[in-house]
Amino acid sequence: MKKQVWRAATVLFLVIPMLASAQVRGPAERQVTDPRAVDSPVNSRARPVPIDDLYFTRSVSSASWSPDGREILFTMDMSGRLNLWKVKSIGGWPIQLTQSDERQTAGTWSPDGKWILFQQDVAGNEVWDVFAIPSEGGELTNLTNTPDVREESPRWSPDGKSIALNIKPKDGTSYDVAILDWETRRVTNLTRETSHEQSWASVAWSSDGRTVYANRYDISFTDADVYRVDVPSGKVTNLTPHKGKVLNIASSLSPDGKTLLMTSNEKGGFQNIALLDVATGKRTWVTDTQWEASSGDFAPDGKSFSYTLDSDGMSDAYLVDVVSLKSEKVPLAAGVNGFPAYPSSFSPSGDRLLVSHEGSVQPADLWIYDITARRPTQLTQSAVASLSSAVMPESKLVHYRTFDGKMISALMWVPFNLQRNRGNPALVLPHGGPTGQVQDNWAPYIAALVSRGYICIAPNVRGSTGYGMEFQRANYQDLGGGDLQDEVYATKFLEDTGYVDPKRIGITGGSYGGFMTLMAVSKTPDIWAAAVEMYGIINWYTMLKTSDPQLQEYEKTLLGDPEKDRKSYENASPITFIHHIKAPLLVLQGDNDPRVPKGEAMQVVDLLQNDGKTVDVHYYANEGHGFEKRENQIDSIRRTVEWFDKYLKASP
């Protein structure tokens, strides 16, 4: 299950052969793709990409500028663990700042540049503590040390004396904003949410440190407002009151404190960018699109700001002049481009911008964009050398009609050198969420499968973000219903290309994708020849008893009241249909998963073993929701490849 995030998707790269233009104004202008237009190019250099090379390629994320602009802090797994590193902003060899078996993220510098804060959990349990380390390296200090409370997203006050945190008790349903006193280490709640359906997240401090701006959002990701919170008194003021369900999400405060940069879907349920006057509440709209725009940061001088635009799984980064509101696209290759830095992607001097770029054949890296020269320069080099010489098929964007006429977008990967003889194996890859989206990002597990001869398709089925709120809510109380049929119709598209053997189609996914995998093989058993499910849900009622309490509330927004709407829970639970499974099933699960607990996987395995079905399982003792440690990532993809090779590549 997905944790609450506003940018709902992780995801793919490079110049993509697109069969629908990313320049259209919205989803309504997509055109159906002719399946026969999909081809498999000839390439004599095509080889399976070594799995170790894919996973020794680094993961880079969560960056932050030093106050003097000379260094950049980021999270990277060069050591096989997600720890903190830093590098000169002019380039050079990165220095490892922290060393831990645990994952570390959300690093941020103190205003005087002497300290760095970050969050760290234990074995993937997501019960984060906030730590401090001298910026030149040294001993770690756990500032919060609360095994029963999550403290996340530390945000320094301008004077460096206080830190805003998002906090939630382990057994609680709501996040609040709290203030950590840097000197005394005392944590005091700034907000005190009373509704189990609402949570808070900090946005920015005022320059005098007397105000924190924050977003208050409902757990269904369909309604939110921007608030001004007075620090001394705790008084809250709603700056975006509205009727009905509207998302209003602020991301940055202008240097003069007069304007908030925000995202709103007030325009027909589609996310657009607006400037919010803090004093009057007046909005000035910046974009008018039916794709998904997400606000970024103000420049230090307040004369410009940034945002990203996701067009059908492709994301571009933009700079906007505050006066003219003229937008200029940051010149990066096609793929997924964004602003990874916290609290701002602008350098302190405002002359440079930290951006990220990745794609289906290009791992994520950080780039420095010189705003005056309009020139991007690559800062990190994530890929191991062998990937530079490896040939990998780029993704293709395709569209097809599903059972009720809705248009479904999907990314598709076709291996080289295939014959159009209806004899090749294929995989459907359902994404997590369900409020998520497949984007054109780097995905090493897909590269491993495609380079080994598997045609892959990853649909953005109903319930996905990126196509407006109506589409996002189209699977309400129908999980594993219409959205499952959208996945099934992906197999029809695969067959219509002429490449795929309908008896050699498998399915694999994690989290909600794991749930969808279980629903697929249980509810439509004759379609699938093999499956690998990772940390997926089998029973929504046991999830309501064992998963993180906030996620329990999220589940209710998808399925309704567990008593009044009992039928929707039963119809959406794979356990209702699991005895119909025919496909051999591999189950992969983390022991410490707080979102989809281990008990879900155990139910799957026990039931299928009792039925005498073909099932295997592997539990990862030091993992939570997903596999973060390199040896576990490698082990899981090896097991997946071996499973599909055994059951899809052998004679049916």
* Backbone dihedral angles phi then psi of residue 74, each to the nearest 5 degrees: -160, 165
Element (H, E) at 446: helix 444-450
Residues forming a β-bridge with 400: 408
pLDDT attached to residue 651:
57
Residue 420 structural domain: 35-52+387-649
* Tokens of residue 492, six digits: 């029809």
**H or E element: which one contains 615?**
strand 615-620
| Token pair 């103000």: residue | 298
CA distance 536 to 555: 14
What does the pLDDT read at residue 650?
78
Taking only the tens place, the pLDDT of each residue in 20-51 is: 333 448 999 999 999 999 999 999 999 999 99
Average confidence score pLDDT of the chain: 95
Alpha-carbon distance 188 to 177, whole Å?
9
| pLDDT above 80 for 7 | no
The single-letter DSSP state of residue 243 is S
Rounded to an integer, the average pLDDT of 604-625 is: 98
pLDDT one-digit tens code per residue, 98-147: 999 999 999 999 999 999 999 999 999 999 999 999 999 999 999 999 99
Whole-model pTM over 0.85: yes
CATH number at residue 437: 3.40.50.1820
- Count the domains in the chain: 1
DSSP state of 493: H
Distance CA 399, CA 460 (A): 10
Residue 433 lies in a domain: yes
Average pLDDT for 390-394: 94
E strand spans, 402-436:
407-413, 424-428
In this model, does residue 575 exceed pLDDT 80? yes
Nearest residue to 59 (alpha-carbon basis) of 72, 77, 37: 77
Alpha helix stretches (DSSP H) within 123-218: none
Q: Residue 355 to residues 64, 319, 326, 344: CA-CA distances in angstroms?
A: 11, 12, 20, 11
3-state SS class at 549: helix
With respect to residue 250, please indicate whether it lies within any of the assigned structural domains.
Answer: no
Given a cut of 90, whether residue 346 has pLDDT beyond it is yes
Separate counts of helices (H) and strands (E) for the chain? 11, 36
Element (H, E) at 570: helix 566-571
Query: Does 490 fall in a domain?
Result: yes
pLDDT for position 388 = 83
Q: How far apart are CA 270 and CA 267, in angstroms?
A: 6
Domain-embedded: residue 344: no
The reported pLDDT for the residue numbered 21 is 32
Q: What is the mean pLDDT of residues 336-355?
A: 97
Cα separation, 117 vs 102, whole angstroms? 15
pLDDT at 437 over 80: yes
Dist. CA 473–CA 313, nearest whole Å: 18
DSSP H helices in 290-416? 385-389
| CA 314 to centroid of chain Cα atoms | 14
**425: three-class secondary structure by DSSP:** strand
- Of 188, 126, 130, 182, nearest to 154 by C-alpha is 130
Q: Round to whole Å and give the CA distance between 511 and 396.
A: 24
pLDDT score of 480: 97
Provide the pLDDT for residue 148. 97
d(CA 244, CA 222): 10
pLDDT at 8: 29
Which pLDDT tens digit goes with each residue over 292-333?
Answer: 999 999 999 999 999 999 999 999 999 999 999 999 999 999
10 Å CB burial of residue 564 (0-12, 13-18, 19+) is exposed
Which has the closest alpha carbon to 248: 230, 227, 234? 227
Q: Is residue 273 part of a domain?
A: no
**pLDDT value at residue 25:** 81
Give the confidence band of 389 by pLDDT, cuts at 50, 70, 90. Answer: confident
Within 10-137, residue ranges assigned H as helices are 51-56
482-496 helix and 512-523 helix, angle to the nearest 10 degrees: 80
Residue 15 lies in a domain: no
Would residue 423 count as lying in a domain?
yes
Give the model confidence (pLDDT) of 186-228 as tens digits.
999 999 999 999 999 999 999 999 999 999 999 999 999 999 9
Q: Position of tokens 């596999």?
A: 627
Dump pLDDT digits (tens) for 403-424: 999 999 999 999 999 999 999 9
SS3 content of the chain, % helix, strand, coil (to 5): 20, 35, 50
Residue 580 lies in a domain: yes
The answer for residues whose C-beta is within 8 angstroms of residue 566's C-beta and 6 or more apart is: none
Strands 530-534 and 585-590: parallel
pLDDT at 19: 33
β 71-76/60-65 pair status: antiparallel
**Pairwise CA distance, residues 86 & 135, whole Å:** 9
